[in-house]
Amino acid sequence: MRALLALLRKELYHIRRDRRTLAVLVLMPIVQVILFGFAISTDVKNVRIAIVDPAPDSETQALRHRFASTGGTFQVTAVVPRTSHLESLFQRGTAQAAVVFEPGFATRLGQGLPAPLLVIVDATEPNTGSAIQNYVLAVVSAYERERGASSPLRIVPAVQMRFNPTRESKHLFVPGLMAFVLTIISALMTAISLTREKETGTIEALLVSPLHPWQIVVGKVVPYLGVGFVSVIAVVVEARLIFDVPVRGSVWLLLAEGLLFILVSLSIGILISARTSSQRVAMMAALVGTMLPTMLLSGFMFPLDSMPRPLQLVAQVVPARWFVEIARSIMLKGVGLEFLWQETLVLAAMALVLLTMSARSFHARLE
Amino acid sequence: MSVDLAIQATDLTRSFGTFTAVDRITFDVRVGEVFGFLGANGAGKTTAIRMLTGLLAPTGGVATVAGHDVATGAEAIKNSIGYMSQRFSLYEDLTVIENIRLYGGIYNLSSGEIRARADAMLARLGLAHAATTQVRSIPLGWRQKLAFSVALLHAPRIVFLDEPTSGVDPITRRQFWELIYETAAAGTTVLVTTHYMDEAEYCGRVSIMVDGRIGAMGTPAELKDEFDVHSIDEVFVRLARPGGYAPAPPGAQA
Amino acid sequence: MRRILALARAEVLHVTRDRATLAQIFIVPIMQLLVLSNAATFEVRDTAAYVVDQDRSATSRGLVERFAASGHFRVIERAGSPARANQALLGGEATVVLTIPADFEALLVRTGAAPLQIVVNAEKGSAAGIVQSYAARILSAYAVEIAPELRPHSIGGAGARARSAPRVDVHVRHWYNPTLNYKHYMVPGILVSLVTMIATLLSAQNIAREKELGTLEQLNVTPITRGQFITAKLLPFWGLAMMDFAIGLTVGWLFFDIPIRGSLPLLFAVAAVYLTAVLAIGLWISTLVDTQQQAMFVTFFVMMIYLLMSGLFTPVDSMPPWVQVVSEFTPVRHFVAISRAILVKGAGLAEIARPLAILAGYAAVMWLLAIRQYSKRSA
């Protein structure tokens, strides 16, 4: 026991003395929360729109004026006489949408004939394209209504956004960010830390000591568990203070599930380090095996429902996917274990399997 | 008559915070000399060498190597020196010949020159059969031979050898010293560190560093006279013991 | 020159002898590209909808039918109860609950307008907005469709309609991505992020590794200049990264049909400049740290920031102004924009001149910075 404590102390020294890594570990969650909170948004606003008006008249001016005075929705960045000018504008990004009039707009309207209007939308990013389309159509409809048009029938939806009334993307990213931070600390750091000892040979001294291999592993791993835990708390607190992200359910449950997830990630880290002695390889393996799936297949950034079936199946074995769902449910829906026991069981099972695998594998490789 | 000096140091000092690793050493090495830079582990030898090779900046004093000041002309020095470091510093995942080709290229030797010199060196040191083996797989003694070859490959005017013989077998030690004599005879200045005191006898002059200072300097004969002992080993022991002299234990003398 | 080549050749040997790293440079990114391109999409389909239909009229049933047939929704229950609906939302079985009031059809016939309630599980933020707009579109299309049936007198004849009010005949064109295929947007971006990650990680741990192993000392004792050293370190990885990019592009084209509307040589020329910049960043980081571990961590941290701000996953236009300004100073953002402009929009040199100039400036500055930062002598 004393030997284990000595190991723990040594590991803490390592962590404390490596200023740069420590700085990254501390800064990373903070910076990421800020970035995600402020930067990651899919709101479409200030759409850059170009107008093609070969023969301006009172009506085209009126409609153009509407686009120019929408407040934050549109900004008219160019007015050109011909469509041929548009290509370059779109390619440069100066315009994301364009409204093309034809000569005789006002005349046709006055005669009660439909006046054609071409709307061009940059659909490179499909959702943005759809949103822009909707905005443009909304402006046109408002213009029509003002001129006296009325629709014969209206179904009026009253929309309620549950669990996230302001549709804050921030509220949705915090659980994912927790998974991300934990994965980095638990999987990546342990993998590198253990292979580092192998690469520099310092592990041999540990091995010839009376220490049992499992003690070495535990001694290595527990400090990172501590660091990870602190990081998670930091993320939640920060998100709460700066962005008002709630924790509607039980905080203890959240932390307990966090601990479970850390265990799973740690085992993966150990597994990776058991298979290689090169830090470079360990790091890449951890990145591919844990980071990327956590980012992309956990439902953190991209909704799982949108993915093709095969990928959804693969996502089921990504631990982060379960943790993100659990964390989201606790934080946003405020549900408890009675709704989450299945997901928790999956995580627990993963932890058990991975821990056994890594313990066995580490043992074998060291001899 | 003034003698050409390859290396000259005056009060050369290096401190790391409050710890002074090299404490105002003054010495010189003549062109073509084989100079033994002796001292125990941690006495400051490697730090001194790193300053002389331009790898570390001095914190005090001056030194000149191959006519250039180590503080201001570090890069110019590197054109004229060769270096074999204490810790093996060549690439383990390259073969013997690839390491040689790399450094040959860095020193701007033509491929013909590289091949010729490599063949000669490897043959001389008995390493030719391992030319295409990755360094990772060859034993320590052979690695030392390789590092030695690389240090001398470009025929530098001055060569610094930091503990070239540690960890090698007696035959290889012999071969190294034969090569050292040869290069010195051809006009190369050799500064070699070692903690094998018997090798001191092979040197023209030696200095012995103790705790960052030069405790004694001179030819082996002069030193043995001065301390009234029969071997440089004894000189060293005398110097290193705190409180100065200690009587030799009975029956210890050879 | 011979010096640079000699050192560069040694670097290539290092990499080719390290099978694990080779796999990580070539095989792994390709696999990732294949998997991730399928995963990365914000498209919303098959949203599970639970309907509480308290009207049970032909009209309400027709509406539900439109939802089911839209392709965007999967109606899991057509005649449910409010209590179960709530359970479904909480438990996650349904993302949308549609509640049609009992007098829906009657109100429509009598007054021309009727309400209904839509509750969306907005846990997933952005998807909720999209779901809402899909629903809104279905509703308005349905309204137009049943208007003649339910309120024929309000319409009048075709002639009356034509004379009564101004109508703008709107045609919408979706440029560059008419099929609204998310992959065309994501694949170039993912390719860029993968190649960037690999390039910077490799170059960052390079010098740090030599420091750790002690081989740097032997190089420092030679007359090689800092400029020659950094260039020799940059060159081989630059070549590898370009190859990676080319292979990735081919995979994207073969498997995902990404458009290649602009000039490929232009794209590769830009890639050459960009990769120089990011490799130089990696090398610069490498000169600042002592161990590989630090190198990897710092690089990862920096790259994460770049990637998040680059417009890869979420559009730069949606970011607050101050973030957009900061992202102007990140090379990734510009390369992503240029790649998309060339590949998807067919842009030429004139259109990308500005971001390209920024990239070139970046490359030059970082190269010089790495050289300056590298010291052959410890202080």
Nearest neighbour of C171 by CB, restricted to A21, A116, A328 = A116
B60-65 and A47-52 beta bridge pairing: unpaired
The span from the CA of A300 to the CA of A294, in Å, is 7
With 0-12 CB in 10 A as exposed, 13-18 as middle and 19+ as buried, what is C325? exposed
From the number of C-beta atoms within 10 Å of its C-beta (0-12, 13-18, 19+), residue B208 rates as buried
The answer to whether position C169 is within a domain reads no
The pTM score is: 0.84
pLDDT band, very low/low/confident/very high, at B155 (cuts 50, 70, 90): very high
Written as six digits, the tokens of C42 are: 């914000």
- Strongest mean pLDDT among A197-211, B75-89, C79-93: B75-89
- β-pairing, B158-162 with B81-84? parallel
| Touch between chain A and chain B: 3 or more Cβ pairs under 8 Å | no
Closest to B108 (Cα-Cα) out of B75, B146, B155 = B155
- The strands making up B68-69's β-sheet, listed across from edge to edge, are B19-30, B5-16, B60-65, B68-69
What is the separation of C-alpha C90 from the centre of its chain, rounded to a whole number of angstroms?
30
pLDDT-above-90 percentage for chain B: 54
Q: What is the 3-state secondary structure (H, E, C) of chain C?
A: CHHHHHHHHHHHHHHHHCHHHHHHHHHHHHHHHHHHHHHCCCCCCCEEEEEEECCCCHHHHHHHHHHHHCCCEEEEECCCCHHHHHHHHHHCCCCEEEEECCCHHHHHHHHCEEEEEEEEEHHHCHHHHHHHHHHHHHHHHHHHHHHHHHCHHHHCCHHHHHHHCCCEEEEEEEECCCCCCHHHHHHHHHHHHHHHHHHHHHHHHHHHHHHHHCHHHHHHCCCCCHHHHHHHHHHHHHHHHHHHHHHHHHHHHHHHCCCCCCCHHHHHHHHHHHHHHHHHHHHHHHHHCCCHHHHHHHHHHHHHHHHHCCCCCCCHHHCCHHHHHHHHCCHHHHHHHHHHHHHCCCCCHHHHHHHHHHHHHHHHHHHHHHHHHCCCCEC
Q: Helices then strands (H, E): number in chain B?
A: 8, 10
Q: For the residues A198-211, what does the mean pLDDT come to?
A: 73
C-alpha C286/C-alpha C230 separation (Å) is: 11
Element (H, E) at B69: strand B68-69
Residue C87 shares a structural domain with residue C115 = yes
> In terms of residue numbers, what domain contains C187?
2-41+181-373
CA C358/CA A31 separation, integer angstroms: 25
- What is the tens place of the pLDDT at every residue in B25-52? 999 999 999 999 988 877 888 899 999 9
β-pair partners for C120 = A161, C96
Taking the Cβ of residue C86 and every Cβ of chain A, the question of whether any pair is shorter than 8 Å is answered with no
Instruction: Show the CA angle centred on residue A180, arms to residues A174 and A181, nearest 5°.
Output: 90
Q: What is the CATH number of the domain that holds C150?
A: 3.40.1710.10
pLDDT at B252: 44
First-residue to last-residue Cα distance in chain B: 40
Residues of chain A positioned with their CB less than 8 A from the CB of C352: 91-92
Residue C245 lies in a domain: yes
Domain shared by C84 and C140, yes or no? yes
Residues C239 and C357 in one domain: yes
Clarify whether residues C133 and C12 are in a common domain.
no
pLDDT at A228: 79
What is the average pLDDT across B173-197? 89
List all residues 6 or more positions away from A349 whose beta carbon is below 8 Å from its beta carbon: none
Q: Which residue of B has its CA nearest to C209?
A: B91
Residues of chain C in contact with residue B91, where contact means CB-CB under 8 angstroms, are: 10, 14, 215
Find, among A330, A332, A326, the residue nearest to A347 by Cα: A326
The two tokens of residue C249 are 């592009």
Residue of C nearest to A27 (CA): C301
CA C358 to CA C213: how far, in whole Å? Answer: 37
CA–CA separation, C297 and C229 (whole Å): 24
What CATH number is given for A47-146 in this structure?
A: 3.40.1710.10
Instruction: Quote the CA–CA distance of B49 and C278 in Å, as a whole number.
Output: 37
- Tell if the CB–CB gap between B105 and C7 is shorter than 8 Å: yes
Domain membership of residue C173 (yes or no) is no
Residue C106 lies in a domain: yes
Query: Which tens digits make up the pLDDT trace of B94-151?
Result: 999 999 999 999 999 998 999 999 999 888 888 889 889 999 899 888 899 899 999 9
Where residue B12 falls among pLDDT bands split at 50, 70, 90? very high
Please list, in sequence order, all residues whose beta carbon lies within 8 angstroms of the beta carbon of residue B2, skipping any fewer than 6 positions away: none
Asked if residue C233 and residue C363 are part of one domain, the reply reads yes
- Closest residue in C to B134 (Cα) is C17
Q: Which tokens is A138 given?
A: 């909304």
pLDDT band with cut points at 50, 70 and 90 for residue A134 = confident
Q: Does residue C277 sit in the same domain as residue C203?
A: yes
Compute how many other C-beta atoms are within 10 angstroms of the C-beta atom of residue A362: 19
Q: Is C133 within the bounds of a domain?
A: yes
- The alpha-carbon gap from B14 to the nearest alpha carbon of chain C, in Å, equals 10
Provide, as residue numbers in chain A, all residues whose Cβ is less than 8 Å from the Cβ of C351: 88, 91-92
Q: Give residue A99's pLDDT band: very low, low, confident or very high (50, 70, 90).
A: very high
Please tell me the distance from the alpha carbon of residue C136 to that of residue A134, in angstroms, as a whole number: 10
Contacts 24+ apart (CB under 8 A), C131-134: C131/C44, C131/C47, C131/C72, C131/C95, C131/C96, C132/A159, C133/A130, C133/A131, C133/A134, C134/C44, C134/C47, C134/C70, C134/C72, C134/C73
Instruction: Output the pLDDT for position C158.
Output: 44
Q: What is the ipTM of this complex?
A: 0.86
Residues C294 and C201 in one domain: yes
Chains contacting B (3+ CB pairs below 8 angstroms): C
- pLDDT at C90 (0 to 100): 79
Q: C376–B74: do the CB atoms touch at under 8 Å?
A: yes
- Whether C10 and B98 lie within 8 Å, measured CB to CB: yes
Give the whole-angstrom CA distance, residue A118 versus residue A121: 10
Greatest pairwise CA separation for chain B in angstroms: 60
Assess whether C252 and C188 both reside in one domain: yes
Read off the tokens for A337: 């274990």
Select from C103, C137, C164 the last residue of a domain: C164
Q: How far apart are CA C197 and CA C350, in angstroms?
A: 29
CA B53 to each of CA B60, B75, C221: distance values in angstroms, whole numbers, following the listed order: 16, 9, 7
Query: Chain C window 187-216: which residues touch B at a Cβ cutoff of 8 Å?
Result: 213-216
Q: Which of A137, A306, A338, A339 is the best residue to mutate to test the C interface, defined by the most C CB atoms within 10 Å of its own CB?
A: A306
Decide if pLDDT at A41 tops 80: no
Parallel/antiparallel/unpaired status of strands B60-65 and B81-84:
unpaired
The answer to whether C193 and C36 are in contact (CB under 8 A) is no
Cα–Cα distances in angstroms (integers) from residue C260 to residues A189, B151, C314, C340, in the given order: 40, 54, 22, 10
Q: Which residues contact C65 (CB under 8 A, 6 or more apart)?
A: none
Using the beta-carbon criterion (under 8 Å), do B101 and C6 form an inter-chain contact? Answer: yes
Tell whether C18 and C70 lie within a shared domain: no
Cβ atoms B13, B52 nearer than 8 A: no
Element (H, E) at A340: helix A337-366
Domain assignment of residue C297, yes or no? yes
Domain limit, last residue, from C102, C130, C164: C164
Distance CA C372, CA C229 (A): 11
Residues 6+ apart with CB under 8 A from C152: none
Number of neighbouring beta carbons within 10 Å of residue C318: 22
Residues in chain B closer than 8 A to C3 (CB atoms): 105-106, 108
pLDDT of residue C157: 41
Choose the weakest-confidence range: A52-66, A157-171, A206-220, B151-165.
Answer: A157-171
Distances B69 to A210, A327, B49, C217 between C-alpha atoms, Å: 53, 65, 14, 20
Which residue ranges of chain C lie beneath pLDDT 50? 156-164
Q: How far apart are CA A352 and CA A267, in angstroms?
A: 9
User: What does residue B243 show for φ and ψ, rounded to 5 degrees?
Assistant: 85, 10
Number of domains in chain C: 2
| Residue C56 belongs to some domain of the structure | yes
Comparing CB atoms, the residue among A20, A284, A292 nearest residue C289 is A20
Q: Which residues of A touch C309 (CB under 8 A)?
A: 35, 39
Average pLDDT of A201-218? Answer: 73
Does residue C223 sit in the same domain as residue C313? yes
How far apart CA B177 and CA B192 sit, in angstroms, is 10
Subunits close to A (at least 3 CB pairs below 8 A): C
Residues C356 and C267 in one domain: yes
- Give Cα C176 distance to the centre of its chain: 16
For residue A301, what are its two tokens?
A: 């950034």
- Which of C41, C144, C168 lies at the smallest CB-CB distance from A302? C41
Asked whether A269 and A67 are in contact (CB, 8 A), the reply is no
Q: Given B55, B79, B93, which is nearest C14 (Cβ)? A: B93
Question: Does a structural domain hold residue C175?
Answer: no
In chain A, domain spans: 2-40+169-366, 47-146
